[in-house]
Amino acid sequence: MMKVLVTGAAGFIGSHAAEALNKEGYEVVGLDNFSDYYDVRLKELNTDSLRKNNIQVKKVDLRKPEDFKKLTSDFDFIIHFAAQPGISSSSTFDQYLQNNVIATQNLIEFAHQNKKLKHFFNISTSSVYGLEATFPEDAAAQPASFYGVTKLAAEQLVLAESRAKRLNSSSLRLYSVYGPRERPEKLYTKLIACAFNNEKFPLFSGSQKHLRSFTYVGDIIEGLLSAVKKHHELNGEIINLGTEAEYTTQEGIDYVEELLGKKIELEVKPRRKGDQWHTRANINKAKKILDYHPTTTLKDGLQRQINWYKANFL
């Protein structure tokens, strides 16, 4: 049985990845530092679900080299989700630097101890492209936020290992992922929570017109599983994972209101620095190499997210 290390395993996408890999027959070990960036109870809820499936989750802080002593060095794959997430005015540059760059370099150094390691997958973001993310993978990156800059730096640290022939690695750039377990400050979980709690939704000025490739988490996981199976074709590669369908933020709000049968009151906030105004995943490369074809419509995915919210928070 091949063994996989998943960082950020108690988080939104990482927990889904750990579960899916487990179902595919991999032995999965998850890591998370259980940061209080958002309510730790959500991470604990995700962890409970993983442990019910006999998936180990260890409390490890990737910024601390000594924490790696808690791990064995017999992994076949490393999948690196852990990061200081998103664009947030409450996060400092140092937090992005430590969690996205220093932590990644420490993980790379640990990866070298794993003599049977087949591949290191870095999980990146469309934010590395900049304010518009509609490009193929060979387009010049133009990040416009601390998040995008440090995620690009992390990606390059990992890919440098491939260029130097020290590790086999690749980077998957994800687009606007949503679905069950989405973080509480993210668009759809926040919208759903505001609807049920009769609270105003904080909408950043102008963002209702932003276009997004809102991608259901299950479609992202399908792409990841294909990448793991085809890892021998991916050394040194960057792959976009997302949907080609694009929606405005306002259309997303309208769908949530339609599915809940309830109007959500909006409270307009000042524009957010570095926020992307247009993303549309260019997935020609993923189609060709991974046979990647996301199928979940936004409306269907949001219904699943609403069902998850009801089951866990009402």
Yes or no: say if 84 and 148 are a contact pair by the CB < 8 Å rule. Answer: no
147 is known as an active-site residue:
yes
Of 37, 96, 129, 147, the active-site residue reads 147
Q: Which residues pair with 202 in a beta bridge?
A: 267
List the catalytic residues. Answer: 147
